Amino acid sequence: MYSSRDGGWVQRGLRALLPASAVARVSLDRTRARTGQDAMRMAAVPATNADPDGGLDAPTVESSAPRYLISDLCGYLDTYLPPEQVSECYRAYLFGAEAHEGQKRKSGEPYIYHPVAVARILAEMRMDHKCLIAALLHDVIEDTQIAKEQVAATFGDEVADLVDGVSKLSQIDFDSRAEAQAASLQKMLLAMTRDIRVILIKLADRLHNMRTLDAMGREACRRISRETLEIFAPIANRLGISRVRVELEELGFAHYWPWRRRVIQCALQKTTGARVEMVGTMETALKHALQQEGIQGVVEGRRKHLYGIFRKMREKSRGFSEVVDVFAFRITVDRVDTCYRVLGLVHNLYKPVPGRFKDYIAIPKANGYQSLHTALVGPQGIQIEIQIRTKDMQRMAESGIAAHWMYKTGDQSLANPTAFAADWLQNLLEMQREAGNSVEFLEHVKVDLFPDEVYVFTPKGHILTLKRGATVIDFAYAIHSDVGNNCVAARIDRRLASLSTVLRSGQTVEVITAPGARPNPGWLSFVVTGKARANIRGYLKNIQEREAQSLGRRLLNAELAAFDMDIERLDPSRLAGYLADVNLREVSDLLRDIGLGNRLATLVARRLAGIEGDEVIRSAPMQEDIHPHRLAIRGTEGMVVNFARCCRPIPGDGIAALFSPGRGIVVHRSECRNLGSLEAKGDKGLDVEWALEPEGEFPTEIRVEIGNRRGALAVVAGAIAEKGSNIENVHSREKDGMTTALEFLILVKSRAHLARIMRRLRQIPLVTRITRVARS
């Protein structure tokens, strides 16, 4: 099938696999490559580019992209794959060359160069042959006439699924570029949850594109670089593939902020020149200390990469001169216990910086990274970071989840990046289920790609890794969505704490739940993890759907009662016909639209009753015979009945309501200045009244003017509490030197309840005036 003894490849037997024209064209291309382009094989060439997700544009970067021929790739695959699998990869190359025939990259080179380069990147990770075949074909579904079914028939369903997972959604029209991008990324990330190799192919694809980012327009270049820094580099970090992550960050930084990169680079070169003697002295001292103790280890001095320095400067609002740990040493040893011996050794050699020691061996990072980190005060008072790890940990740090294919180790002390990735992928699936659309899903994913973590303990001693700034709510949802939905309080280190408490590393957190509890929309203002945000939004959205359907049913039945009908007794064929006319599939969709104010119950009822003349109804004033039954407001309708904040109606007030499309009903006091007349509002008005026994408590505002005396606020608050009301908020404003106005937001059951509170407040000698607040 093939031969590689002389470094070349012959197509023996390939005529049975592809049309003769394809073999001839590939053969001709290879001949030209060997005669005219052999000099650039395996050599770096000036940066080239490709299409927006297959190649790009930016200022010239110092790193350049190696250009590989298929013979180089197959020769490399020979080092770790059996011959029959290498032949399959070569067959995929021929298939791709045929599919991409005539296509050029922006640089003018044949498009097939790009898939070959992507496959080479994955080959360096020692990926399996199925993944390499998918890499060679990763653009055929998206950019050619080849269908997924054709790929499956030729190379199998596994390869076809990988190629389809990487392909963008180009057959669907989207309202904006952002929506199209979000939908394609959502598709890729969900495919990744089924097979992690999808994201590895995509990362290799993006890496080659970033290496060849010179021919696109400036705006396109910045857009792609920003996407790389915001999404793909963090994904590589989340999967522990630091080698890919660092290169993506450096290339993205160079193309998105070229001037800032040059400034930092110049400053770093000056600093390096001044400190090179000091770094050399420390390296010699560390090596000598290891030798004295008989420890076999490798000491490597290194400089932090430019984007890492820039990110620290931006996050901590520091100048370059204030970033002290620009230089670092990595000490690599053979065993875990030796790591701790070396830690004691370096702490004896140089003074450690308090608070800078981190044990990522005992408590690995969220991506499985393991190492000991400490900072030392070196010569001239300069801080130097020291990283101590084993050789296996170093391999895992560079390759992350790709190490599953690259290395086999029996070291039980190593964290398993695959297990950490599986946890994250499970979180992605939960976020997908709860997200309303692809844009919202992408927002949750970006939130979840965090660089900084805190480590907290469950009561049973299990460690949970959360984003820095995470609260009790984030912790609860990290345990399980049901725990988050039902939590009401927590104990942190055995002390009661509120749900908004920000957690710190080392704390033990116990969540207190209650069966009847449910998420509060206010939680969204302080949660920081994508999983918590997605679950809260999803729960509230489902609650709103159910409440909207219930309200819609009540509204429609109230209107149908005028025709002696209700929705349960409607002719099914008439109802089905109406649903078809308005492009709705289910009755529940119609009820939801009515409850949310997107459709008027009056007009729907007339259509279902067989009465035409919608235009007349819209312009006609509301009469009592049109609304024989007013909607009774019970106070338990939930999120689809909102009480206006301008006038804050409570049971006992005269009320009127307006439809707010997408929100439902907004209830005002009848005398509210913002309401206007129902006649002027036309079809947006709704007749409502309070139910005979409204349930729950309703917020209202009162203003109390009181003389300036010490303890006056406590006296007023005590009187309000005495009458069974809770104070939600209070603001004070000094009117003159003698009087202060206190504005209270309190919860009451009815107008009579409010009257009792106001009578009690008038009995306080210091109170000079009490009014109910209505805002314009």
- The set of catalytic residues is 142-143
Nearest-angstrom CA–CA distance, 60 and 48: 10
Task: Centre a 10 Å sphere on the Cβ of residue 720 and count the other Cβ atoms it contains.
Answer: 22
Given strand 509-513, what is the order of strands in its sheet?
495-497, 487-492, 509-513
Is the distance from CB of 502 to CB of 454 less than 8 angstroms?
Answer: no
b/e map of 51-88 (b: 16 or more CB within 10 Å)?
bbbbbbbbbebeebbbbbbbbbbbbbbeeebeeebbbb
Nearest-angstrom CA–CA distance, 716 and 714: 6
Phi, psi of 728 (to 5 degrees): -85, -35
H-run or E-run covering 93: helix 83-99
Q: Which single residue is written with the structure tokens 């089905």?
A: 576
Nearest-angstrom CA–CA distance, 38 and 211: 21
Is the distance from CB of 129 to CB of 85 less than 8 angstroms?
Answer: yes
CA 353 to chain centre: 35
Q: Which single residue is written with the structure tokens 């400190």?
A: 275
Distances (CA, A) of 550 to 521, 547, 556, 589, 769: 20, 5, 10, 11, 43
User: 3-state class of 681 per DSSP?
Assistant: helix
**Exposure on the CB side of residue 555, measured as CA atoms within 13 A:** 32
H-run or E-run covering 672: none
Longest C-alpha distance within the chain, in Å?
A: 106
Is the distance from CB of 641 to CB of 665 less than 8 angstroms?
Answer: yes
Nearest-angstrom CA–CA distance, 592 and 658: 17
